[in-house]
Amino acid sequence: MAEVYPAEKTERALVRQRLERRLKDQRPPYPQKLLRSLYASLLRAGFASAIIRDELFGRARGQVPEDLALEEPDEET
């Protein structure tokens, strides 16, 4: 199962789901108090701090973290 679903990717997906649910009624720029609250609640839920930072602050800037950006297929010439 770990080969099919790497832990970090599923953890990122869970963090992203929680953020989407909590921020669905909010529009950027998000208040610092809200960002701190979300960060703390995700830490208490047991998620890795690096993943939380990537997802939360990437969303706060309105960007997708670089490691999750869609890769374009290689074109053969």
Contact 23, 59 (CB under 8 A): yes
Q: Which of 61, 56, 69, 52 is nearest to 23 (CA)?
A: 56
Structural domain containing residue 28: 7-67
Structural domain total, the chain:
1
Pick left, alpha or beta for residue 23 (phi over 0 → left; psi -120 to 50 → alpha; otherwise beta): alpha
Express each pLDDT in 30-59 by its tens digit.
Answer: 888 888 899 999 999 999 999 999 998 888
Residue 48 lies in a domain: yes
pLDDT interval class at 18 (50, 70, 90): very high
Q: What are phi and psi of 71, to 5 degrees?
A: -90, 135
What is the pLDDT, as a whole number, of residue 71?
46
Residue 76 lies in a domain: no
Contact 22, 38 (CB under 8 A): yes
Whether cis (ω within 30° of 0) applies to the bond prior to 29 is yes
What's the predicted TM-score (pTM) here?
0.66
